[in-house]
Amino acid sequence: MNKQQVTFPKDFWWGSAWSAEQAEGRGETGKAETVWERWYKEQPYRFYQGISSETTTDHIHRYKEDVQLMKETGHNSFRVSISWARMFPADGIGEVNPKAIAFYRDLFTEMNKNGIKVFANLYHFDMPAVLQDKGGWESREVVDAYVNFADACFKEFGDLVYHWFTFNEPLGPILGSYLEDFHYPNNIDFKRGAQAAHFTILAHAKAIAAHKNYQLDSKIGVILNLSPTFPRSQNPADVKAAEIADLFYVRSFLDPMVKGEYPEKLVTLLREYDQLPEDYTEEDSAWIKENTAQLLGLNYYEPRRVKARLTAINQDGPFLPDWFFENHVMPGRRMNEYRGWEIYEKGIHDLCMDIKENYGNIESFISENGMGVADEERFMDKTGQVIDHYRIEYIQDHLAYLWKAINDGCNIKGYHLWTFIDCWSWINSYKNRYGLVSLDLATQKRTIKKSGEFYKQLSDQNGFEYDIDRLV
């Protein structure tokens, strides 16, 4: 055993993240119906235990208490999202809501007063339903509405926000809404999804251009969910399958949002199968080329392992990425059995090295990483504290590989855990808990978990003791 202090760079960002729809609750400020509220009205049986986003963690009423809990769990930074539906409650564009402005200014002021940098994300899956009715991300009108929303946020909160982000996991709504049936409005149509993806990327570029107009001290970037892709073997068929999977799931947003251009191999493939978006202009290309991310958030949970397809595709079925590969279940893999995800700590190092070697070593940070566990009441002691040593070990193991990436020259500035207080999780509601702080749904009582105490020590010491012989 070779235990030593693993120390991170000075001014490292220690914090966590959540989103408006998952934590705020509806509140009384006025808020348009989101796609999640619409979907819940139409199909409540698809939501775990029938729990909606009406109340969630009730952060809108408890934000001052929550900011104190951020301090008690070692936060020097925290990522929120700003609710588009709250800012523009009438039609997603119209008049900005003064009550929403007051809430966010109060929240951000409270965070800054307590030494917690505000990382503000503009879009986290929460499209106003009225704009979804206009086509959602398939519509140029909605792109313009988003840029109007972003501009209002820069104007109203620019003095309080440390860093901005245009989108969190923009691939998610494309997969969920157009390919895999886990986001409203549940279409299965790759070509429409490609159009929505293009307009999302265009919206990202135009929001960055709007941010530049204000000449703020803050930077603006994007947060992407990225999994390094591993072939089952070095057999050429497996290697090709992994390359194509990587194009769809990693390079599709990473390249245009950071480099300003789409990956040529992906464009060629989609052209061959007639899946390129219909509405695409040279002017769009110029916007995307000239307005790229200034920093990059990396959400890492699990690797992607694939193999060559062994079964034929039904050519009459819908076009999907699965036409080109199958997922590979690696024998002996470690699993988070509650979430169904592989635990592979070294993947966080592989991801950071990819960004260093292929994306100009852009300033980056781990913007999400975490472990969801069901029925955590099993691990409560007599005082009601969750003794979650499994989460502490998960964080340490990933941070050790992040430390290695930094020592290998990666430009990594921080680590944000998912999440702060147990929060509502889309159709899974509160099935799996991720927080440093536990939430009693009946009373809204917050209790710091053992991992929350560890996180405070981690932040105070800017590191922890670890057996570095475990690193490979």
| Mean pLDDT to the nearest integer, 326-354 | 93
How many Cα atoms are found within 13 Å in the side-chain-facing hemisphere of 195? 15
Beta bridge partners, 3, equal: 467
- Convert the pLDDT of each residue in 237-264 to its tens digit: 999 999 999 999 999 999 999 999 999 9
pLDDT reported for residue 94: 87
Minimal CA–CA distance to 200: which of 231, 222, 230?
A: 222
Cβ proximity of 468 and 6 under 8 Å:
yes
| Mean pLDDT to the nearest integer, 285-296 | 98
What's the total number of domains in the chain?
A: 1
pLDDT reported for residue 337: 82
Q: What is the pTM of this model?
A: 0.97
pLDDT of 44 over the 90 cut: yes
- Convert the pLDDT of each residue in 381-435 to its tens digit: 999 999 999 999 999 999 999 999 999 999 999 999 999 999 999 999 999 999 9
Minimal CA–CA distance to 206: which of 265, 144, 263, 271?
A: 144
Domain hosting 66: range is 3-470
How many Cα atoms are found within 13 Å in the side-chain-facing hemisphere of 140? 6
pLDDT reported for residue 66: 98
| Mean pLDDT to the nearest integer, 39-61 | 97
Confidence tier at 91 by pLDDT (50, 70, 90): confident
φ and ψ at 130, to 5 degrees?
Answer: -65, -30
The dihedral region occupied by 228, where left means phi > 0, alpha psi between -120 and 50, and beta the remainder, is: beta
At 471, which amino acid appears?
L
Cα–Cα distance for residue pair 203/199, rounded to 1 Å: 6
Total Cβ atoms within 10 A of residue 432: 19
| Mean pLDDT to the nearest integer, 209-215 | 97
Residues 6+ apart with CB under 8 A from 11: none
Residues 6+ apart with CB under 8 A from 328: 231, 232, 305, 306, 307
Cα–Cα distance for residue pair 122/222, rounded to 1 Å: 10
More confidently predicted of 331 and 1: 331
pLDDT reported for residue 436: 98
Catalogue the active-site residues. 169, 368
pLDDT reported for residue 382: 95
Cβ proximity of 306 and 284 under 8 Å:
no
| Mean pLDDT to the nearest integer, 202-226 | 98
Confidence tier at 336 by pLDDT (50, 70, 90): confident
What tokens were used for 324? 């080109």
pLDDT reported for residue 376: 96
Q: What percent of the chain has pLDDT over 90?
A: 96
pLDDT of 1 over the 90 cut: no
pLDDT of 469 over the 90 cut: no
Cβ proximity of 262 and 256 under 8 Å:
yes
| Mean pLDDT to the nearest integer, 143-153 | 98
Cα–Cα distance for residue pair 420/116, rounded to 1 Å: 13
pLDDT reported for residue 110: 98
Buried b (16+ CB within 10 A) or exposed e, 153-179: bbebbbebbbbbbbbbbbbbbbbbbbb
Q: Give one DSSP letter per residue of 84-141, joined into a string.
A: HHHHSTTTSSSS--HHHHHHHHHHHHHHHHTT-EEEEES-SS--BHHHHTTTGGG-HH
Q: Is 312 exposed, middle or buried (0-12, 13-18, 19+ CB in 10 A)?
A: exposed
| Mean pLDDT to the nearest integer, 448-455 | 98
- Hunting for tokens 């002017």 — which residue is that? 283
Beta bridge partners, 296, equal: 222, 364
- The CATH number that applies at residue 99 is 3.20.20.80
In the 8-state DSSP scheme, what is residue 208? Answer: H
Q: Which 3 state secondary structure label does DSSP give 406?
A: helix
Confidence tier at 267 by pLDDT (50, 70, 90): very high
φ and ψ at 197, to 5 degrees?
Answer: -65, -45
Mean pLDDT taken over the chain = 97
What tokens were used for 297? 């958030």
Minimal CA–CA distance to 80: which of 127, 119, 31, 110?
A: 119
- Hunting for tokens 């199909």 — which residue is that? 43
| Mean pLDDT to the nearest integer, 298-324 | 96
Cβ proximity of 18 and 423 under 8 Å:
yes
pLDDT reported for residue 340: 82
Cα–Cα distance for residue pair 148/309, rounded to 1 Å: 44
Helix (H) or strand (E) holding 461: helix 450-461
- Convert the pLDDT of each residue in 10-36 to its tens digit: 999 999 999 999 999 999 999 999 999
pLDDT reported for residue 2: 86
| Mean pLDDT to the nearest integer, 353-382 | 97
- Convert the pLDDT of each residue in 112-141 to its tens digit: 999 999 999 999 999 999 999 999 999 999
Cβ proximity of 77 and 120 under 8 Å:
no
Cα–Cα distance for residue pair 213/206, rounded to 1 Å: 11
Q: Is 71 exposed, middle or buried (0-12, 13-18, 19+ CB in 10 A)?
A: middle
φ and ψ at 74, to 5 degrees?
Answer: 85, 15
Residues 6+ apart with CB under 8 A from 312: none
pLDDT of 67 over the 90 cut: yes
pLDDT of 311 over the 90 cut: yes
Cβ proximity of 60 and 25 under 8 Å:
yes
Q: Give one DSSP letter per residue of 279-343, joined into a string.
A: ---HHHHHHHHH---SSEEEE-S--EEEE---S---TTSPP-GGGG-EE---TT--EETTTTEE-
In the 8-state DSSP scheme, what is residue 368? Answer: E
